[in-house]
């Protein structure tokens, strides 16, 4: 069987949340000893074992809940009296630590123009993995994006093949309306945690109407944040970047974006 740690690394590489459940304390007779491990995925798949039977089923349920909440936890089970609700009759006790492991969120910046530069820089400062995609090698360069991974290739093909997950945050800021629209078409049905497209209200309405006319599901269109960013009166590329990252952080944390000023 593959190493539990390799399975965790593989999941993180594609932006998937997982939990590593490990037996950390035993007393008396228990199905497994200290150090037994099991990887639990958000959809309930597992690899490895912490004892099988009812204990393992309970640990799996705890791990799924922990992944959904993004919070690790320590669970304790007595294995003495099934009639009293204990998940076994080995006679001992077991503590299992459920460690939720989150992938580093990805900021996928589509386009390498003036707005993309401060978006990538601020994203890096906010500890995102930043990836810039543009079909112009001179624009998607290390000089312009020193803290980002860069892909100089066809934008639409790159997006269609990219491993997009809930921890992927897509910012579409290409050099033209048609490329913005094609990029949006490529990702609108993805499970990305955030999809935003820059543009005036007139452009946005036109793009969404074309996608709607082509049969794109209304629920998918409703997820798109466009015009992009929070309304802070942003005008310069740096100001627009601030508004975009502020919106992404607000949605990631489930906050309102309201001022925090106290009424004195």
What is the average per-residue pLDDT within 148-154? 92
Which residue in 47, 35, 36, 37 sits closest to 10, CA to CA? 47
Q: Look at residue 85 in the predicted model and tell me its pLDDT.
A: 46
Cα–Cα distances in Å, from 212 out to 91, 160, 190, 201, 206?
Answer: 62, 20, 16, 16, 10
| Burial annotation 207-236 (CB, 10 A radius, 16+ → b, else e) | bbeebeeeebeeeebeebbbebbbeeebee
What is the average per-residue pLDDT within 24-52? 90
Q: Cα–Cα distance between 144 and 137 in angstroms, integer?
A: 11
The predicted-structure confidence for 210-238, as pLDDT tens digits, reads as follows: 999 999 999 999 999 999 999 999 999 99
Q: Cα–Cα distance between 223 and 219 in angstroms, integer?
A: 7
Please tell me whether residue 124 adopts helix, strand or coil conformation. Answer: helix
The predicted-structure confidence for 56-67, as pLDDT tens digits, reads as follows: 899 999 999 999
Q: Look at residue 90 in the predicted model and tell me its pLDDT.
A: 67
Task: Check pLDDT > 50 for residue 84.
Answer: no
Which CATH entry fits the domain spanning 106-253: 3.40.50.720, 3.40.605.10, 3.20.20.70, 3.40.50.2000?
3.40.50.720
pTM: 0.75
Q: At what angle do helices 201-213 and 177-187 cross, to 10 degrees?
A: 50
145 half-sphere exposure, CB direction, 13 A CA radius? 30
Mean model confidence pLDDT for the chain: 91
Q: Look at residue 12 in the predicted model and tell me its pLDDT.
A: 87
Q: Look at residue 130 in the predicted model and tell me its pLDDT.
A: 96
Task: Kindly report the backbone phi and psi dihedral angles of residue 101, in degrees, each rounded to the nearest multiple of 5, phi listed first.
Answer: -115, 120
Residue that is written with structure tokens 């390498």 in the block: 112
Domain boundaries, the chain: 4-101, 106-253
Which residue in 21, 17, 18 sits closest to 74, CA to CA? 21
Contact by Cβ (8 Å): 16, 9 = no
CA geometry: angle at 243 spanning 191 and 209, to 5°? 55
Task: Check pLDDT > 60 for residue 105.
Answer: yes
What is the average per-residue pLDDT within 122-130? 96
């Amino acid at each position: 069987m593959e190493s539990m740690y390799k399975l965790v690394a593989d999941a993180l590489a594609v932006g998937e949340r997982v939990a590593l459940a490990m037996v950390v304390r035993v007393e008396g007779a228990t199905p497994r000893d200290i150090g037994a491990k099991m990887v639990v995925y958000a959809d309930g798949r597992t690899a490895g074992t912490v004892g099988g039977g009812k204990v393992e089923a309970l640990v799996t349920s705890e791990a799924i809940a922990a992944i959904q909440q993004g919070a690790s936890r320590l669970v304790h089970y007595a294995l003495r009296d099934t009639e009293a609700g204990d998940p076994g009759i080995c006679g001992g006790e077991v503590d299992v630590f459920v460690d939720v492991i989150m992938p580093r969120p990805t900021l996928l910046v589509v386009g390498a123009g003036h707005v993309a530069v401060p978006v990538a820089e601020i994203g890096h400062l906010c500890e995102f993995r930043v990836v810039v995609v543009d079909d112009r090698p001179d624009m998607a360069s290390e000089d312009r994006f020193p803290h980002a991974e860069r892909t100089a290739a066809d934008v639409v093909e790159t997006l269609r093949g990219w491993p997009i997950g809930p921890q992927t945050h897509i910012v579409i800021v290409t050099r033209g309306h048609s490329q913005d629209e094609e990029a949006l078409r490529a990702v609108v049905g993805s499970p990305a945690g955030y999809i935003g497209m820059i543009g005036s209200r007139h452009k946005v309405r036109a793009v969404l109407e074309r996608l709607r006319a082509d049969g794109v599901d209304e629920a998918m269109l409703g997820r798109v944040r466009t015009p992009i960013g929070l309304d802070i009166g942003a005008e310069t590329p740096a100001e627009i970047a601030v508004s975009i990252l502020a919106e992404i952080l607000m949605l990631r944390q489930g906050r309102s974006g309201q001022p925090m000023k106290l009424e004195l």
